[in-house]
Amino acid sequence: MTESRPAVPTAVPSPVPASVPIVVPAADTGRTGSRGGGAGAVGLVLGGALSVQFGAAVAALLFPRAGVSGVVTLRLVIAAAVLLAVCRPRPRGYGRRDWLLIGGFGTALAGMNTLIYEAIDRIPLGAAVTLEVLGPLALSVIAGGRPTRWLWGLLALCGVVLLQGGGVHGLDLGGVGFALGASVMWAAYILLSARTGRRFPRADGLALAMTAAAVLTLPLGVATAGSALFDPVTLGLGAAVAGLSSVLPYTLELLALRRMPTSTFAVLVSLGPAIAAVAGLLVLGQSLAAGQVAAIVLVVAASAGAVRTSAADLPR
């Protein structure tokens, strides 16, 4: 549930094509939670990552039934309903700037989910998530204080070049464009989640922003999907997508963040593109060329390295 991870840009949140991240207070400096983490905490993070990426794969199965806009609408509306019921945010006591922030945050959520689903509809899931991670990775590189951070950026760039050139025909340029657009929205999401975490208690800001995102996508979803949105099978699969992509990861990752440093958490989350490639293969039958697999490995390594480098620069 992109959903928000550490609010500092040094963390690389889980790919939210489909992900609704957890909003962690901005005061978190990467040293929260127990230092060891333990196998249980690692399992929680990996479970959340698996849930997000397999949720995205299930969403792709829904595209022929309800279209991309319809699936985005189902996911955001259901996720918003769950978050409102659980968080019960109080709308009173906030000013105009607070609501403008919620509107911007909601726009980033809506854009991020719509663009990544458009990408998944055109290129393999693993490739789409690999490109989407470039937004958070760029923030990590820019936020890092050491010159070596640019080496991670160069490594990621090599991965992207290899990804686009992999396979016989390469990747659909439209899909690549949508994935890169999603990466920009994800970077905006991270920055806005940090501000929201400072202004709103608990996950109230996320619940309100998710509601705003649902309102923004609802007209287009209804216009394009129409009555298909109310088909029992479509509704059931839409609920599964919302649960796998938002509710379950939110719960697992929140529990994990209480047990491990956010820097360790972010490194584990960097495995998202690799997990997405596995989900695409098992659920959608999407195979990748050897060059594209190598590209995903390079971007994963760059993400993990950038996070570790940035975390090392945080004040002790």
Q: What is the pLDDT of residues 83-110, one digit of tens each?
A: 899 889 988 888 899 999 999 999 999 9
Give the three-class secondary structure for 2.
Answer: strand
For the full predicted model, state whether its pTM sits above 0.85.
no
Of the candidates 190, 184, 63, which has an alpha carbon nearest to the alpha carbon of residue 115? 184
The values of phi and psi at residue 253, to 5°, are -75, -35
Mean pLDDT of 153-159: 80
Tell me which DSSP letter residue 167 carries: S
pLDDT of residue 196: 87
What gap in Å lies between CA 164 and CA 284, rounded to an integer? 20
CA angle 156-108-256, nearest 5°?
70
Pinpoint the alpha helices (H) of the chain: 38-87, 96-120, 125-132, 134-143, 149-165, 173-199, 204-225, 232-242, 248-257, 262-269, 272-284, 290-312
Position 81 scores a pLDDT of 93
- For the purposes of burial, counting CB atoms within 10 Å of the CB of 168, is it exposed (0-12), middle (13-18) or buried (19 or more)? exposed
Return the CA Rg of the chain: 18
Q: Domain coordinates of the chain in residue numbers?
A: 38-312
In the 8-state DSSP scheme, what is residue 18? S
Task: Work out the pLDDT band at 180, boundaries 50, 70, 90.
Answer: very high
Is 307's pLDDT higher than 80? no
- Confidence class of residue 278 from pLDDT cuts 50, 70 and 90? very high
**Residues 131-154 pLDDT 10s:** 888 888 887 777 665 666 677 778
Spatial distance between the Cα atoms of 137 and 296, rounded to a whole number of angstroms: 13
Q: What is the mean pLDDT of the chain?
A: 80
Other beta carbons within 10 Å of 202: 13
CA–CA separation, 306 vs 314, rounded Å?
A: 13
The distance from CA 203 to its chain's CA centroid, rounded to whole angstroms, is 16
Stretch 256-261: mean pLDDT, rounded?
Answer: 76
Asked whether the predicted pLDDT for residue 72 surpasses 70, the reply is yes
155/175 Cα distance (integer angstroms):
22
Unique residue bearing structure tokens 């991870």: 5
Q: Is the pLDDT of residue 75 over 90?
A: yes
